[in-house]
Chain A
Amino acid sequence: MIVSRGFRGRRRDGPPDRVPPGQYLTDDFPVLSAGPTPHTPLDEWTFTIHGVDEPKGWTWEELQALPRETVTVDIHCVTRWSKLDTVWEGVSVDRLLEEVEHDAAYALAFCDGGYTTNLPVEDLTGGKAWVAYSYGGEPLDPEHGGPARLLVPHLYFWKSAKWVRGLTLRDEDEPGFWETNGYHLRGDPWLEQRYWGD
C-alpha cells in the first residue's frame, strides 16, 4: 500500500452494504456520454426486439400502455459516483421479453446516437432491468437518456443505455461501445469490474 503523505480524505462513504468499493456518494446526477444528446420525437420513437424469428416493436404509446413499475434503486457509475434511492418508472424488461420467442443468452442494447452495450439476458431478467421513461416523478430528461433509457442498476451505469431503442438478442456476447473501448464486458460494481482485465 502506498500512503499519500497528508491525505485524509473526506469520507463521504455511506452505508458499506450500499456503496460498492471505490465509489463515493453524490447528490448530483452527473452526465457521461460519448457524443451529442439525441432528440428523437416521440411519434418517431419505437422500441424493438431483434434477433428473433419474429421481431417485436412498440411505439411510444404502446410502451406507455404496458404495466408501469416504480422502482427505487441505487446507481453506480464507473467514474466512481454512486447515488442512492433514485426513483424511476418504466416497463420491466421481463414484460417486453415475454412477447418474443427466444432462447438467447446475450443481448446488445442499441440506441439513438449509435451507442450500444452488451448484457447477458440473465442480467436483464428476473426483475432486475427496466426500460425507464421517468426519473424522480418527471419525464426523463434528454441529457439523462430521455425519452427512455435502459435501467440495470445492479451493473455499472454505462450498461443502463441512454436513448435506448431496442435489444438485439444473440447467442454470443458481442462487446458494445465502451466494452470495445477499454471497459469491462459485464461491469459488476461489487466486483469492481471497471476495465479490461478486472
Chain B
Amino acid sequence: MTSITRTGSARGTSTRTRRRPIRPNLVATHVVLAIGLVLFAFPFYWLVVMATSSTSDIFSFPPRLIPGPEFFNNFGQVLANTTFVQAFFNSIWLTALTATIQLFLASLAGYVFAKRRFPGRDRLFGLVLVTLVLPTGVALVPSYQIYAGLGWLNSFWPLIIPSAVSAFGVFWMRQAAVSAVPDEVIDAAAIDGAGFLRTYWTVVLPMIRPSLVALGIFQIMWTWNDYLWPLLVLGNPAQYTLPIAIQQLKGNYGNVDYSVVMAGTLVATLPLIALFLALRRTVLDNVAGSAVKG
C-alpha cells in the first residue's frame, strides 16, 4: 500500500480555476443521476405524503401523491398515545453517547492496527475479521442471560456496552488509516517528539476525518433505528427509545393506523436528515490535501 501513501503526499497541484466547456458526458451524468434521484427519493417522499394524509386516503384510487393537511392531526395522535417526547430525548443522548465511544475506541484501535508495529498484530487483526462473521441470532438468548446475570436488565447498559466498539468500526478505521495517513507523516511526528496519544489526536484523527464522520453517521443511524434489542432489555416505558415508542402505535393483533405511524416516523427521521446535511460536506466533498498540508 506504499504506492497509495506516495501518491497521497504528492498533492497540491490543483488546477481548479481552469475553464472548461460543457461536455455531453456531463449531460449524460445528470440524466442518470436524476433518474436515480427520483427512484431513491420516492419512498421518502411517499412517507411525507402518508404522514400528512389519512390512512384511508393512502389506499384510495388514484393513489394520493401530494402531501395532505392531516399532519398535525396525525402527530397529535402520536403524542397522545406514546411516550414520544421522552423517547426522543432518550434516543438523542443514547445515540450521542454510543457514537462518541465507538468513534474514539474504533479509531484508536484502527490506527494502532494500521500504523503501529507490535508482536501478534496481524493475528489479532485476523481475529477482529473473524468476529465479523460470527453467528448472530442464537447469541440473543445467552446475551440476554448475561445481562440479566449482571443485573443490567431494564437499564441502558445493554445498549451502550455492546456497541462501544465493533469489529466493523475497527476494520473501517484501520482501512481509513492505511489509505489516508502516510507513514512519512507519522515518522515526522515522531521526530517532532509527539507521543503515542498526541500523534493519534493531532495527526491521525484530522487525516481520517471523512471516514470517521462516515462511521459516526452509520453508528448514529444504527443506534437510532435499533428496535429488537432495546425492546427486549428495556422494561420501563420511561426508558423507551424512539422505534419502540413508535411501535406502541401498533395496536392489538397487528392493527396499524398507517398515517399516524408515518407521522411519528417522519418526525423521528428529521434529526438524522439534519445530521446528514450538516456532515455531508465533510464526508462527501473532495477536501483532501488540506490535512496533509496542515
A-B complex is real: no
